[in-house]
Amino acid sequence: MVPHLITALTGPINELEQRILESLPAIERWFRLEWMEHTPPFYTSVDVRNAGYKLAPVDTNLFPSGFNNLTPEMLPLSVQAAMAAIEKICPEAKNLLLIPERDTRNTFYLANVQRLMQVFHMAGLNVRLGTLDADITAPTEIALPDGSALTLEPLLRTRGRLGLKDFDPCTILLNNDLSAGVPPVLAHLHEQYLLPPLHAGWTVRRKSNHFRAYEEVAKKFAKLLGMDPWLINPMFTRVGEVDFGVNGGRDKLMGDAEALLGKVRRKYKEYGIQEKPFIIVKPDAGPAGAGLMTVRDPRDLIDLSRSTRMQKEGRQTVEVILQEGVPTFERVNDAVAEPVVTMIDRYVVGGYYRVNAGRGFDENLDAPGASYVPLAFAESNQLPRSGVKPGASAPNRFYMYGVIARLAMVAASYELEATDPDAEVYE
Amino acid sequence: MVPHLITALTGPINELEQRILESLPAIERWFRLEWMEHTPPFYTSVDVRNAGYKLAPVDTNLFPSGFNNLTPEMLPLSVQAAMAAIEKICPEAKNLLLIPERDTRNTFYLANVQRLMQVFHMAGLNVRLGTLDADITAPTEIALPDGSALTLEPLLRTRGRLGLKDFDPCTILLNNDLSAGVPPVLAHLHEQYLLPPLHAGWTVRRKSNHFRAYEEVAKKFAKLLGMDPWLINPMFTRVGEVDFGVNGGRDKLMGDAEALLGKVRRKYKEYGIQEKPFIIVKPDAGPAGAGLMTVRDPRDLIDLSRSTRMQKEGRQTVEVILQEGVPTFERVNDAVAEPVVTMIDRYVVGGYYRVNAGRGFDENLDAPGASYVPLAFAESNQLPRSGVKPGASAPNRFYMYGVIARLAMVAASYELEATDPDAEVYE
């Protein structure tokens, strides 16, 4: 079944699409040169928003959990990319320890874990699951809806290494974003590859670092294509710690919001965009979807102190960023949708749409009510075709999404280098 | 349309399939370790024969010409593998010069060239075609059945480099097996990457070198899996130069054939195989399909001197090898078929069946009357599934074909290292 899909086919995006297609060999070469200097994250998924007048990444996930949303047709691409990744990191590897999220009641998430195990098994590794859940002290089967089961095993930590009973891995793959902090069992694992590294988790990671790096990448890329970087870059402001309990914190937030909205308004005027600008308030740390708020008027923020949405338990202050809101004009069966592009190593291995019928085009879709429609990026029509009218070809559109997602991946690579706590050791 | 396909589902192959599936991570790791020590050919296709009781490669093509037989669904795998290959060889590359076969009247072959250009364009290179045809002195369009066209351009040789007008490539990709010899324009190109290297062409290449290397690879792999290497290795004898004009040459050939048939007979007896053994007479140099002869009785060779099939123009002697015949028990729509596995760099990127209704199960199918049925190695069912009864699962069978084809690719890598004329320079 092919979903009825409406992409935003008007506006400057068509020009951008044409320029991207015409520049395909130059773009791919640009990525090759970037990857000579920088290491791609092990795996990445990027939420992309297509507003018709601009196309931008709004979230870059370094612990992607949507592999179950890829169609089976796409799997060989994942396996091939996983083979390339393993070969670079640890070609002698026999074993891979995968550490999933602690909460395993979500069957969609379990299907994602199962899919990841399948991909890395096919790529040539014995894969087993270790859990951070201290309540699990013996191998425990978790049934899946399809009748199969996953086995979670307790982690075994020795002085320098982490493993399971009779299982000593070369590489430990985290599919856990460490929102709850870095457990001691993962610290100081200098004899094994821990991927992504600990500082990719939300204990250390900050969206402001990511989007600052993305701004740099977008500028470089826009120079290559001779275009305004704003067409692919969502503007943002790092507000810093906001104390929602005192008026001063709120005033600073409102001032920053007014300033950012002003910048967006000027851009809209420059491009003759009739939409009403809006911004998104995001916690600087934390996974996509958590604590997001759409703000159309800074006065909306007055009430924010009454809301607990931005506040973590027992804390009065939250680190906050404001980001230019990028509306999405993509629809799947009339519901608002945004594409999510999945990558392993430097390769786009598939994608899907996040759909949320209960949300507006200017709201976060990664919220209750979201569903996922696999999109066959890997199907016959995945490869871009030249000579097709801009905006008229789904594969060309998907190629463009893959380019923007890979720009965000390059930014994540810059970000991880800049925030590496061990970096000074090598300098 | 899915072709009606009958694979040989009985006999020891099922045991082999089971062992290969159970050993998947160990096998993939084995390949990883091989590729740490050896360089895979740039691209390769391998003809595989499944006799039910054994499964063996019978031809390894280092200038594959069947990319047009891959389904569009498989293309992203080719593009990803091509990206990985380019990145290793020449990441800064902007341009790729592709040199096709000289005879461009075959529209199937032209479709293959078009597909290769498409793959390397998508992988991020400007691709243009240079021809070895001296009659072409200006850019010449060749129309394709689909209404598009290819442009062949005359080669421009400077002292150290080969290119086209206003086109200086980093890499030159040969899709020409050099059966007609090495043209001077390709000699001494030390400033550019010429891939595959000249000694992969039939001027230098010998099947006996390849199958000697394959024997070594098959023994190593059989040791890993704890099995008889004969199950995947076609026995062969290098006869050397045979003078078909004199009786002495014929006698040596008949003696060698009788000896090889005797070895095959003993193996058949050991495994209780009821088939009548046969051998294939092949020229030691030259592409698959050219000059092949099925011999069931050495006395068949008496008449060989009357035939000119083995003789090249103006030559009395031909270098000959004899190879154990591997019958194929695969059928597509009742016609005899054999799988062809296509690889770029170290990756299986697809496959198809060569079908020839006019030929027997013990004959060469790469002959007039052959047609090609794309097989969706890349489709949803491409990935092997554990727990399925051996022989009952097409994806498992295809995984096994991909393993055997990759063993032949490892052998080609050994072979190219051993026959490299410049090798002593580095020793």
pLDDT at B383 over 70: no
Do B124 and A36 count as a contact with CB atoms less than 8 A apart? no
Which residues of chain A have a CB within 8 Å of the CB of B80?
77, 80-81, 347
Using CA atoms, how far apart are residues A168 and A282, in angstroms rounded to an integer? 39
Chain B residue with the nearest C-alpha to that of A126? B25
> What tokens appear for B288 in the block?
């698959």
Question: Stretch A191-212: mean pLDDT, rounded?
Answer: 96
DSSP reduced 3-state for B401: helix
pLDDT at B152 over 50: yes
Using CA atoms, how far apart are residues A336 and B300, in angstroms rounded to an integer? 74
Q: Measure in Å the smallest separation between the Cα of B219 and chain A Cα atoms.
A: 21
> What tokens appear for B37 in the block?
């020590």
Give residue A199's identity as a one-letter amino acid code.
Answer: H
| Torsion angle of the four alpha carbons B171, B175, B178, B180, in this order, in degrees rounded to the nearest 10 | -130
Strands, DSSP E only, in B265-334? 279-283, 293-295, 317-324, 330-332
Q: Assign B58 a pLDDT band (cuts: 50, 70, 90).
A: very high
Question: Stretch B286-293: mean pLDDT, rounded?
Answer: 80
Question: Stretch B260-269: mean pLDDT, rounded?
Answer: 96
Closest Cβ–Cβ partner in B73, B77, B124 for A379: B73
Do B28 and A93 count as a contact with CB atoms less than 8 A apart? no
pLDDT attached to residue B380:
39
Q: Are the C-beta atoms of residues A61 and A352 closer than 8 Å to each other? A: no
ipTM of the complex: 0.89
pLDDT attached to residue A81:
96
Q: Assign B378 a pLDDT band (cuts: 50, 70, 90).
A: very low
Do B383 and A79 count as a contact with CB atoms less than 8 A apart? yes
Q: Measure in Å the smallest separation between the Cα of B97 and chain A Cα atoms.
A: 14
Whether omega before A196 lies within 30 degrees of 0, making that bond cis, reads yes
Question: Stretch B366-370: mean pLDDT, rounded?
Answer: 87
pLDDT at A246 over 90: no
Distant-in-sequence, close-in-space partners of B331: CB < 8 Å, separation ≥ 6: B5, B6, B337
> What tokens appear for A384 in the block?
């871009």
Question: Could you give the C-alpha distances from A309 to A292, A312, B312, in angstroms and in order?
Answer: 8, 8, 83
Using CA atoms, how far apart are residues B407 and B403, in angstroms rounded to an integer? 6
pLDDT attached to residue B5:
44
Taking only the tens place, the pLDDT of each residue in B108-138 is 999 999 999 999 999 999 999 999 999 999 9
DSSP string for A10-54? SSTHHHHHHHHHHTHHHHHHHHHHHHHHSPPPSEEEEEEEE-SS-
Name the average pLDDT for chain B: 88
Chain B residue with the nearest C-alpha to that of A23? B124
Taking only the tens place, the pLDDT of each residue in B309-365 is 555 555 568 899 999 999 998 888 788 999 999 999 999 999 999 999 899 888 889
Share of chain B above pLDDT 70, in %: 87
Q: Measure in Å the smallest separation between the Cα of B94 and chain A Cα atoms.
A: 7
Which residues of chain A have a CB within 8 Å of the CB of B31?
124
Strands, DSSP E only, in B100-161? 126-131, 140-143, 149-154, 156-157
Of B72-81, B156-165, B317-326, least confident by mean pLDDT is B72-81
Name the DSSP class of B164: B
Closest Cβ–Cβ partner in A27, A80, A94 for B77: A80
Using CA atoms, how far apart are residues A203 and A198, in angstroms rounded to an integer? 8
pLDDT at A245 over 90: no
Do A75 and B380 count as a contact with CB atoms less than 8 A apart? yes
Using CA atoms, how far apart are residues A208 and A238, in angstroms rounded to an integer? 6
Name the average pLDDT for chain A: 88
Q: Are the C-beta atoms of residues A41 and A416 closer than 8 Å to each other? A: yes
Using CA atoms, how far apart are residues A376 and A70, in angstroms rounded to an integer? 8
Range list of H helices, A72-140: 75-89, 107-122
Task: Among B122, B128, B343, B349, pick the best mutation site for testing chain A contact (most A Cβ within 10 A).
Answer: B122
Q: Assign A5 a pLDDT band (cuts: 50, 70, 90).
A: very low
Question: Stretch A59-86: mean pLDDT, rounded?
Answer: 92
Taking only the tens place, the pLDDT of each residue in A89-105 is 999 999 999 999 987 78
Distance of CA A75 to the CA centre of its chain: 19
DSSP reduced 3-state for A227: coil
pLDDT attached to residue B384:
65
pLDDT at A192 over 60: yes
The larger pLDDT score, comparing residue B393 to residue B69, is at B69
pLDDT attached to residue B15:
83
Chain B residue with the nearest C-alpha to that of A37? B91
Do B24 and A122 count as a contact with CB atoms less than 8 A apart? yes
pLDDT attached to residue B13:
74
**Helix (H), strand (E) at residue B194:** strand B193-195
Task: Among B27, B33, B67, B80, pick the best mutation site for testing chain A contact (most A Cβ within 10 A).
Answer: B80
Q: Measure in Å the smallest separation between the Cα of B39 and chain A Cα atoms.
A: 14
Do A35 and B87 count as a contact with CB atoms less than 8 A apart? yes
Question: Stretch A26-42: mean pLDDT, rounded?
Answer: 97
Residue in B411, B401, B384, B409 with CA at minimum distance from that of residue B13: B401
pLDDT at A381 over 50: no
Do A73 and B378 count as a contact with CB atoms less than 8 A apart? yes
Distant-in-sequence, close-in-space partners of A289: CB < 8 Å, separation ≥ 6: A59, A364, A366, A367
The larger pLDDT score, comparing residue B241 to residue A386, is at B241
The residue count for chain A: 427
Residues of B near A (CB-CB distance < 8 A)?
24-29, 31-33, 35-36, 71-73, 75-77, 79-81, 83-84, 86-87, 91-94, 118, 121-126, 346-347, 377-384
pLDDT at B9 over 50: no
Do A124 and B72 count as a contact with CB atoms less than 8 A apart? no
pLDDT attached to residue B394:
66
> What tokens appear for A190 in the block?
């200098």
Which residues of chain A have a CB within 8 Å of the CB of B378?
73, 76
Task: Name A48's bridge partners.
Answer: A57
Do B124 and A72 count as a contact with CB atoms less than 8 A apart? no
Interface A-B: count of C-beta contacts within 8 A: 115
pLDDT attached to residue A397:
79
Using CA atoms, how far apart are residues A46 and A296, in angstroms rounded to an integer? 25
Do B92 and A379 count as a contact with CB atoms less than 8 A apart? no
pLDDT attached to residue B391:
60
pLDDT attached to residue A3:
41
pLDDT at A411 over 50: yes
CA end-to-end distance (rounded Å), chain A? 54
pLDDT at B390 over 70: no
Do A94 and B25 count as a contact with CB atoms less than 8 A apart? yes
pLDDT attached to residue A301:
81
pLDDT attached to residue B369:
87
Question: Could you give the C-alpha distances from A9 to A14, A309, B102, in angstroms and in order?
Answer: 7, 35, 44
Which residues of chain A have a CB within 8 Å of the CB of B27?
124
pLDDT at B224 over 80: yes
User: How are beta strands B126-131 and B149-154 bridged, if at all?
Assistant: parallel
Closest Cβ–Cβ partner in A24, A94, A380 for B73: A380
> What tokens appear for B311 in the block?
């003789």
Task: Among A21, A22, A27, A32, pick the best mutation site for testing chain B contact (most B Cβ within 10 A).
Answer: A32
Do B124 and A92 count as a contact with CB atoms less than 8 A apart? no
pLDDT attached to residue B269:
94
DSSP reduced 3-state for A55: strand
Q: Measure in Å the smallest separation between the Cα of A33 and chain B Cα atoms.
A: 7
Taking only the tens place, the pLDDT of each residue in A113-137 is 999 999 999 999 999 999 999 999 9
> What tokens appear for B29 in the block?
């790791």
Range list of H helices, B226-304: 247-271
Using CA atoms, how far apart are residues B252 and B246, in angstroms rounded to an integer? 11
Q: Are the C-beta atoms of residues B372 and B70 closer than 8 Å to each other? A: no
Question: Stretch A304-329: mean pLDDT, rounded?
Answer: 74
* Range A50-59 burial, b when 16+ CB lie within 10 A, else e: bbbbbbbbbb
Taking only the tens place, the pLDDT of each residue in B185-207 is 999 998 999 999 999 999 999 99
Do A28 and B123 count as a contact with CB atoms less than 8 A apart? yes
Question: Stretch A57-67: mean pLDDT, rounded?
Answer: 96
Q: What's phi and psi for B99, nearest 5 deg?
A: -110, 105
Q: Assign A32 a pLDDT band (cuts: 50, 70, 90).
A: very high
Residue in B173, B162, B171 with CA at minimum distance from that of residue B43: B173
Do A79 and B27 count as a contact with CB atoms less than 8 A apart? no
Query: For the purposes of burial, counting CB atoms within 10 Å of the CB of A23, is it exposed (0-12), middle (13-18) or buried (19 or more)?
Result: middle
For residue B224, the tally of other CB atoms under 10 A from its CB is 13
| Torsion angle of the four alpha carbons A109, A112, A118, A123, in this order, in degrees rounded to the nearest 10 | -130
pLDDT attached to residue B426:
44
Taking only the tens place, the pLDDT of each residue in A154-176 is 999 998 899 999 999 999 999 99
